[in-house]
Structure 1
Amino acid sequence: MEKRMTRLLHVLEAEFALFWILVVAGCVLYETDVLPQGSMVGDAQAEYILQTVGILLTVCLIPLSLRMFSLSLTRYVRQLSLPEALVSYRRWCEIRLAMLLDPALFNLTVYYT
Structure 2
Amino acid sequence: MEERIKQISRCLKAVFTCYWLLAILMVVCGETLDSWTGLYAGDVRSTYQAETATILLAVVCVPVSLKLFSWVLDHKIDAVSLPEALRLYAWWSVVRLFLLFLPVVVGFLTYYLMLSTKGVFCALIALTASLFCIPGENRLRKELRIDKEKEA
TM-score range, shorter chain: over 0.9
Paired AA for residue 16 in structure 2? F
User: Which fold has the larger relative contact order, with Cα–Cα distance below 8 Å and residues 6 or more apart in sequence?
Assistant: 1
User: SS of the residue aligned with 2:41?
Assistant: coil
Mapping of 1:56-95 within 5 angstroms? 56-95=56-95
In the alignment, the residues of structure 1 paired with residue 105 and residue 51 of structure 2 have an alpha-carbon distance, to the nearest angstrom, of: 13
Q: Percent identity?
A: 35
The unaligned stretches of length 5 or more in structure 2 are 114-152
Cα distance in 1 between the residues matched to 2:68 and 2:34? 36
Match of 1:23 in 2: 23
Residue pair 1:12, 1:90 contacting (<8 A) in 2 also: yes
Please state if 1:12 is matched with 2:22.
no
TM-score under structure 1 length normalisation: 0.96
Runs of 4+ in 1 over 4 A off after TM superposition: none
Alignment of 1:14-53 (within 5 A): 14-33=14-33, 36-53=36-53
State the Cα RMSD in Å.
Answer: 1.1
Distance (Å, rounded) in 2 between the aligned partners of 1:44 and 1:10: 45
Relative to structure 1, the CA distance from residue 84 to residue 34 in structure 2 (aligned partners, 3 Å threshold; closer, same or farther) is farther
- Structure 2: distance between partners of 1:27 and 1:87: 33
Aligned residues: 113
State the one-letter code of the partner of 1:60.
Answer: V
